[in-house]
Amino acid sequence: MGSRGQSPPQRNHTTLVEFTLLGFSDVPDLQGFLFGLFLIIYLIILMGNSLIIVIIKIEPSLQTPMYFFLGNFSSLEICYVSVTVPRLLVDLCKQNRSISFLACATQMYFFLVFGATECFILTAMAYDRYVAICHPLLYPLVMNSRLCVRLAAGCWVSGIPVHVGFTSQVFSLPFCASNQLNHFFCDIPPVLKLACGDTFTTEMLVYVVAILVVTVPFMLILGSYVNIISTILRLPSATGRAKAFSTCSSHLMVVALFFGSGIITYMRPKSSHSIGMDKFLSLFYTIVTPMFNPIIYCLRNKEVMVALRKLLLKWSVL
């Protein structure tokens, strides 16, 4: 963790006006390849999630709470990746990779807010599946449109006040003379590495926020799925069990990918952080996981595939 003592008085504390994002500058020969790769992934994310949103909007059979939350989730994924990937693509094309202090704080804030929203929406989706499978007779009554809208709104706004205070706390720290941020976006661990003085309080705050925003939703999802799986196993027919589990399997895969990489990144001890591992994990949960999400939800969801075929047939006729 950070030093509890004050930094030496002779250390040069400067008022930073910008950081330099080093990104992948350590592999100069791969800049063109990485630009092409990340651009393709970004386009897949935008098109895949936009397609899911369109399908859910126009297909009457998908006007259910489960797909309402999936539509919100797809909208969120577009926002989430757009915080980091466009900036990364620009930086791969130019030599000067400076980012202003304010722009860095803004990027971190929106990244954290959308990340928190993703945790909450995945939790709401787990609750929806819990009610649908464990209390099917009550499902239409409990998961009414009013509750769905309130849950979705709560997911979108709950992280805002927490991360306004948290981002302010991080960027109110004194920073040392070095402004070299060894990452491809303004994430918490690399920014804290440049901070001087006593960062212990801020690092403890990182764990507290991570517990509230990541660990608690993950435990709620886990609890929901313990009940869901227990209920599925008690179903009399194998067909019923297969059908019930198929509605949950896509969500479970997304939860495992997103929370797994997020918990490893923010909950492991600072002493075990390495620059290479941090970048790899960040790439995984900021770019790779969002790319797989529309693929997972389309290929593993029969209703979405049927609706997609209908849409493609309409377009082919036109």
Percentage of the chain surpassing pLDDT 90? 46
Give residue 11's pLDDT band: very low, low, confident or very high (50, 70, 90). Answer: very low
> CB of 185 within 8 A of CB of 87?
yes
DSSP assignments along 59-99, one per residue: -GGG-SHHHHHHHHHHHHHHHHHHHHHHHHHHHHH-S--EE
Q: Coil, strand or helix: which one is 232?
A: helix
Whether 315 is in a domain gets the answer no
Q: Is residue 314 part of a domain?
A: no
pLDDT at 269: 65
204 close to 226: Cβ distance less than 8 angstroms: no
Q: Is residue 1 part of a domain?
A: no
| Cα–Cα dist 280/278, whole Å | 6
Q: Give the per-residue pLDDT at 7.
A: 42
* Rounded-to-5 percentages of helix, strand, coil across the chain: 75, 5, 20
Residue 138 tokens, joined:
């009550």
* Number of domains present in the structure of the chain: 1
Does residue 145 lie in a domain region? yes
The mean pLDDT of 153-176, rounded to a whole number, is 91
Q: Is residue 3 part of a domain?
A: no
Would you say residue 14 lies in a domain?
no
* 19 DSSP β-pair partners: 99
Does a structural domain hold residue 51? Answer: yes
Looking at the predicted structure, is the pLDDT value of residue 3 above 50?
no
pLDDT of residue 273: 60
pLDDT tens digit string along 43-89? 999 999 999 999 999 888 889 999 999 999 999 999 999 999 999 99
Q: For the segment 103-143, what is each residue's pLDDT rounded down to a tens digit?
A: 999 999 999 999 999 999 999 999 999 999 999 999 999 99
Helix locations, 94-198, DSSP H = 101-134, 139-142, 145-157, 159-171, 188-193
Res. 1: pLDDT tops 70: no
pLDDT in tens, 237-275: 887 788 777 778 888 888 888 888 777 776 666 655 666
For residue 139, what are the domain limits?
22-307
Kindly state whether residue 4 falls inside one of the protein's structural domains: no
CATH number, residue 248: 1.20.1070.10
Q: Encoding tokens for residue 20?
A: 């330099």
User: Residue 146 — pLDDT band, cuts 50, 70, 90?
Assistant: very high
Residue pLDDT, tens place only, 200-228: 889 899 889 888 898 899 999 999 999 99
